[in-house]
Chains A and B, each alone.
Chain A
């Protein structure tokens, strides 16, 4: 069982370039999330999705876009990369089949992005 898979693991971008961070999960989870982790700052939620075709903003959505065309995939798009987007990005998923329960989040191994 692969769980949550993120690609690439590392990437260096120049200012103004664009790229897509890929995330896929094989657990049939309906909820998926993108977080960024800055040193000493914990995790900040960028975007999340409660199911295919539904996405919503988190705390820090500016400069990013997402789509959720399938249950499995939740790509994160950076259109015009800026140095402030240098961070480690984590994708996560969970199943909330029963409202009010507290299933754990499953995390990918992260993408380390540097914008120079």
Chain B
């Protein structure tokens, strides 16, 4: 079946550190891939997405590249800020008109000043 595996958290970094959150997936065909972010006390918000191999999604300084050869969609940011503290979810939607997103377990990021 379709699944998403994220690196275990929590992740704690100092401000301006480099961030990587790993995400790998298992899916049939060519899924679309997403990163959602959940700030404390809020619902999830779309951070970025990529719909085909080698696409790079980017937003707010975050980037992720769709790597079909390694079935990965790792999230990166060069210099994190305290305001980036949140839970990050990797997700996929398969082709073929599927109406459902499959989410990873989430990775909690804490950035200290």
Contact = CB atoms under 8 A, between A and B. Distances in A.
Contacts of A31: 99
B105 A42 contact: yes
Nearest to A49: B99
Given A41-B105, A104-B49, A4 B43 contact: yes
A70 to B, nearest CB: 19
Interface residues of B, number: 21
Interface residues of A, number: 24
A109 B93 CA distance: 22
Interface string A38-52: 001111010010100
Interface of A: 4, 31, 33, 35, 40-43, 45, 48, 50, 58, 90, 92, 96, 99-100, 102, 104-105, 107-110
Interface of B: 32, 34, 36, 41-46, 49, 51, 89, 93, 97, 99-101, 103-106
